[in-house]
Structure 1
Amino acid sequence: MDITSSEAQQMLFSTYALLAANSILIYDHMATLPEEIAFIWRRPKALSAMLFLLNRYLALLCNISNLVLRFVPLSDEVLLLHAYTELPGSQLLSLRCPEYELYRQLTLVFQAAVVCLIMTIRTYALYGGSRRLLTWMAIIMIALAIAVSVGSLGHFTGVLLSGAGCFETYTAATAVRLGVAWVAEMVYELLIFILIVYRICKTRGLLRLSLVTRRNIIDIILHDGAMYFGAMTLVNIPNILTFYSGSDAIRGSLAALTSCLSVTLISRLMLNLHQSIDTGICSIPARDEGPSLAVFTTRIDVQSAISSHHW
């Protein structure tokens, strides 16, 4: 397909964004590997550790495979041959673009689902294991997931770049449906951040909140939560705008970057918590006693400590 110089530049921008996303993910994986070995692999594999590994390695495998498939060479002659023949081989090759796009969309949805699950469990633990809160969060997450599923699995138009694989483009109607997924994720992240701030304000008071000091677990959770929400807002808003106001060639070009940044920040958040306590995101708040790091513990640990004290 013939493309203009402007479209070629936009496609090049999308390619650079994809390469940047994978570079960030792989670099962070290598940079934090010593912490991962120390705080995840050398400790008991609790639910928090399993979720960390799922989030980290699912994203790594999916993004690397997406990057490889993006540059699988397809021959223009084979696709032209398909217009005049009914050869099974040519038909199979002509379906690579739709198959690649469907796989890419599914991997983005799965990565976002794992991230949302981790944030949900963290908030559930922060509220002392409130089943009522968990029920409402599950209802909201399922409702948003339905909206995401309806919007994300739409049709697309594939553009074949000679010798460089398949480049996906979207019509305006399809881009609107795909953008719903990222809007839903941003809404859920805002809900999580509000719940975290409300809980911490209720626990220690508004005047004692600090985004600078990291004296204890509460400070770590507030600091990391604010950093996560702020960073994701800065990258997700431009991503959403590409779907709703970008040109055909640039729509969705920041999706992979947004997803990789989300996975990277959640991994950092979990490592920070595991550095302070084995249970990580599954820790349940007990009390706030100033600079001690032991303000969070599991409900089982608290009961064991009480039993040991009586004995």
Structure 2
Amino acid sequence: MLTSVPESVLAPAAYWASAIRANNYLTVAALTILYYDFSLTLFAEIEYFWRSANWSIISLLYAINRYYGLIGSIPLFFEYFGTPSQHTCRQLQTYHQAFAIVTQAIVAIMLVLRTYALYDRSRRILALLIITHVGGAVACLIAMVTSKSPTDTHIPLPFTYSGCDLSLTNAQGRHLSFAWLAMLWFDTTIFTLTLVQAIRMRRYFPGGILEMLIRDGTVYYGIMVASNVSNITTFLVTPSGSNLKGMETTLTNVLSTTLTSRLILNLRDSSLRRTRRADENHLTTGAWNSTAVQATTSCVASNPLTLTYIETQTAYMPTEDSREGLAIA
């Protein structure tokens, strides 16, 4: 009975009980979002990907991101809700860290290609993105490898609970927060580049794909900033030995995977990038007319990178030969 436990043990026990409950609730919410969104978008995925004969590197990355996230999350159920041994818990926690790194790497590659296409396949932009991505990856690895803090906090508890001991010391929290700060910096770079280029081109193409790029990019960045900042905060401000440190890691990974899949699906959904009515939009002199935009869009709608690249060009109507050269995936 908790009533017979000394106050010095009862207070930490009550904190742990509430922390475990909060952690489990957030994990359930994250995994529910992951699998529920999959059920919502499965038919769109079948229509735009599996029934399409025109596969590209983006199609492959989309499939890896989608199903690696779905299948790779299964061991997390055992980490949070099973009754594994201490040795198995260490293996599950190591797997979880590796899973998070690979997930973020896949998402980053997809965002790099998307931004690279938007910038007319600029090598300078590609170099900037690669440096930012590699720099962030190195920062993540250094933050994890150089952590010298203990793995066990040895807090006595008067009760047993399911799942692994997810507590972290302050030193561990600081090291891991640096890794997530690097990811936040990368997302900020992608969003800034997307916003700048989309605004520059918007005068030529009001509505359609550019409006969608601004909208989707803003929503993605806003959600990921909120999730990353709150996750970093838990690493830094919660007490040492708390299992609330990094409690949003699973949610952040799920949101990253889910939102990136949505970005790619939206590029293939013609109803979401439809141009506005002629009486609401009048393209400036020298830009494409509506017939040219529709013709070009229909020819490249099966390839999101080609679509992004072609529809963001100004005063240019590609020929059949040039369309093949413009495709980068």
Structure 1 CA distance for aligned equivalents of residues 260 and 71 of structure 2? 17
- Indicate the residue corresponding to 1:137 in structure 2: 129
State whether residues 148 and 181 of structure 1, in contact with CA within 8 Å, keep that contact through their aligned partners in structure 2. Answer: yes
One-letter identity of the residue aligned with 1:267: S
- 1:163 is displaced (CA, Å) by 5.8
Whether 2:155 is the aligned partner of 1:156: answer: no
Q: Any residues of structure 2 matched to 1:192-203 within 5 Å, and which?
A: 192-203=190-201
Conserved? CA contact 2:202–2:210, under 8 Å: no
From 289, 304, 307, give the equivalent of 1:280. Answer: 304
Structure 2 portions without partners, runs of 5+: 1-8, 271-300
Change in CA separation of 1:73 and 1:305 when aligned onto 2, cut-off 3 Å: closer
> Does the 8 Å CA contact 1:179/1:240 hold for their aligned counterparts?
yes
Q: Distance in 2 between matches of 1:158 and 1:134?
A: 44
Name the structure 2 match of 1:109: 101
Q: Which residue of 2 aligns with 1:71?
A: 81
Alignment equivalent of 2:255, drawn from 247, 261, 264: 261
Is the CA contact 1:129–1:284 (under 8 Å) kept in the aligned structure 2?
A: no
Q: Corresponding residue for 2:138?
A: 146
**What does residue 191 of structure 1 align with?**
189
Shift of 1:275: 1.8
- Change in CA separation of 1:102 and 1:300 when aligned onto 2, cut-off 3 Å: farther
2:153–2:169 CA contact under 8 A, matched in 1: no
Distance in 1 between residues matched to 2:13 and 2:168, nearest whole Å: 17
Quick one: which of 23, 28, 34 aligns to 1:25? 34
Q: What is the Cα deviation at residue 68 of structure 1?
A: 2.6
- Identity among equivalent positions (%) equals 28
The 5 A counterparts of 1:155-174 are 156-157=151-152, 162=160, 164-174=162-172
Which whole-Å deviations, capped at 9, do the CAs of 1:55-84 have from their partners, x for residues lacking one? 11111112122123333314xxxxxxxxxx
Contact 1:235-1:258 within 8 A present in 2 as well:
yes
Q: CA deviation at 1:152?
A: 3.2
Q: CA deviation at 1:209?
A: 9.0
Compute the displacement of 1:101 (Å).
Answer: 1.1
**Residue 48 in structure 1 maps to residue 62 in structure 2:** no
Taking structure 2 as the reference length, the TM-score comes to 0.76
Q: Per-residue deviation at 1:303?
A: 1.1
Structure 1 residues 300 and 34: CA distance shift in structure 2, 3 A: farther
What CA distance in whole angstroms lies between the structure 2 residues aligned with 1:286 and 1:94?
54
Q: 1:271 to 1:301 in 2, by over 3 A?
A: farther
Distance 1:118 1:163, change over 3 A: same
Q: Report what 2:290 is aligned to.
A: none
Distance 1:190 1:204 in 2: 21
What is the number of equivalent residue pairs in this alignment? 277
Please report how far the alpha carbon of residue 98 of structure 1 lies from its aligned counterpart in structure 2 after TM superposition: 1.7
Corresponding residue SS for 1:166: coil
Q: Which residue of 2 aligns with 1:303?
A: 322
Once the two structures are superposed, what CA deviation does each residue of 1:192-236 show, in whole Å capped at 9, x if it has no partner? 11101111222234xx898xxxx3111111110011011111222
Contact 2:170–2:236 at 8 Å: present in 1 too? Answer: yes
1:179 equivalenced with 2:177 (yes/no): yes
**What is the letter of the counterpart of residue 265 of structure 2?**
L
How much has 1:283 moved relative to structure 2?
3.5
3-state secondary structure, aligned to 2:264 = helix
SS of 2:165's equivalent in the other structure is strand
Go from structure 1 to structure 2 and tell me whether the alpha carbon gap of 1:281 and 1:68 turns closer, same or farther (over 3 Å shift).
farther
Contact 1:126 1:283 in 2 (8 A): no
- Specify every segment of 5 or more residues in structure 1 that has no aligned partner in the other structure, as ranges: 75-92, 307-311
Corresponding residue for residue 222 of structure 1: 214
